[in-house]
Structure 1
């Protein structure tokens, strides 16, 4: 069951945060685009589990479509994003409970002698995507209202790149068993930001930076802890 859940989780992260483009997100209210996303969800689940004909995966894709349809009718924001992902995780857990042998009976364990190691590697990569790309969406939604009132100055998309890099570094350090090194990352960022904040003497900017940094670091740490825990159950 744990292997099946891990495989379905990998497929979900692949479909939602890698294969789903910004073009698709912007046009997802169109029925054709929503169906295209559901088709990618189904294809990802079929590919990762090695079960191209499992009817349960079709039901899982239909549930994903329904959850996304409901989300599109809610006010956009961090709450809708987190609720959407929580609902998806619940359906993945239910699918794994109802189809515990989905991974074991798929193609990959028979084709690949080290299928378990491949699954572990894919899960780590999925966790990295969750920490970086999914974290970018979550932090961006959290900061959207603050950015509207106090738009930050700097390089175009500079903050996004910094966030991706810092969350990626934190995830790697946490999963490598070196959480104490995160303190040096926090110190380095604080030193680099100190001159800007004191020069501008803008309390709003300093608070904006602190909130964004804590949210970014917190998301990456939680993603790393969840990934590490799931990897331990697969070992």
Structure 2
């Protein structure tokens, strides 16, 4: 399988689903009734078309790119029919999109070589898929992780600690996943232990009681899930980078290439 093609398609998907999809569009896609959903679904597919056209400008592979767009529309159309816990639905939706990407890359392993990018006379183009993989890994770790952890914690919302800054917990989660991603990619995973210790010291108070214990357990579950997601995604990113042109990631033991 072409790591270059996979990196580009993965980044296009993550940008379309988690960066350039506003909350109101995502909400409209989940409404009941086709009349309410169809405009949002078409707009969302249009966003993916634009992103795909920029990331993978491949005039000779329009059929494959069209298949990706059509499958994305169909998967999003069927998503409201899924039943089960929020995290299970979220993961099933994303795995379906990922399966289509893998199928396209397996069928067209030379997809990246057909793009207009490869026709540019610049040695830096060979590093473009690596940059795509880094950005995709960061989005998957930080942004997608926020949705996944939010879906996991939704049934436990009544146990959430009261007070605090508005969306303070979400911001802390974003920052901690970003730090973990950087620590692992710079070969400093031991720093994660200090991050856990610092958060534990700052968060937990001496007082007890059932309500306080429930709030602490809520925070522990969310923290461990967030850390686990970030660690897994960071190492998956390193695995993908190992199959791409090196740009000096210390964790891979590869020096920065000469310009």
TM bucket, shorter chain:
over 0.9
Query: CA 1:35/1:169 → structure 2, altered by over 3 Å: closer, same or farther?
Result: same
The TM-score normalised by the length of structure 2 is 0.86
Equivalenced residue count is 232
Matched, 1:115 2:116: no
> Partner of 1:151 in structure 2?
160
Counterpart mapping for 1:73-92 below 5 A: 73-75=81-83, 77-92=86-101
> Partner of 1:66 in structure 2?
74
> Partner of 1:172 in structure 2?
182
- Does the 8 Å CA contact 1:10/1:122 hold for their aligned counterparts? yes
- Does the 8 Å CA contact 2:137/2:233 hold for their aligned counterparts? yes
Q: Could you report, residue by residue, the CA deviation over 1:138-193 in whole angstroms, capped at 9, with x for unpaired residues?
A: 0011111111x223221110000000000000011111111111010001001111
- How far does residue 200 in structure 1 lie from its aligned partner after superposition? 4.8
Structure index of larger Rg = 2
Counterpart mapping for 1:164-203 below 5 A: 164-195=174-205, 198-201=206-209, 202-203=212-213
- Does the 8 Å CA contact 1:50/1:103 hold for their aligned counterparts? no
The TM-score normalised by the length of structure 1 is 0.94
CA distance in 2, matches of 1:170, 1:116: 27
CA distance in 2, matches of 1:109, 1:177: 31
- How far does residue 48 in structure 1 lie from its aligned partner after superposition? 0.7
> Partner of 2:243 in structure 1?
233
Which runs of no fewer than 5 residues in structure 2 stay unpaired? 32-36, 246-259
- Does the 8 Å CA contact 2:160/2:219 hold for their aligned counterparts? no
CA distance in 2, matches of 1:74, 1:27: 16
Which runs of no fewer than 5 residues in structure 1 stay unpaired? none
CA RMSD, Structure 1 to Structure 2 (Å): 1.4
Segments ≥4 residues shifted beyond 4 Å: none
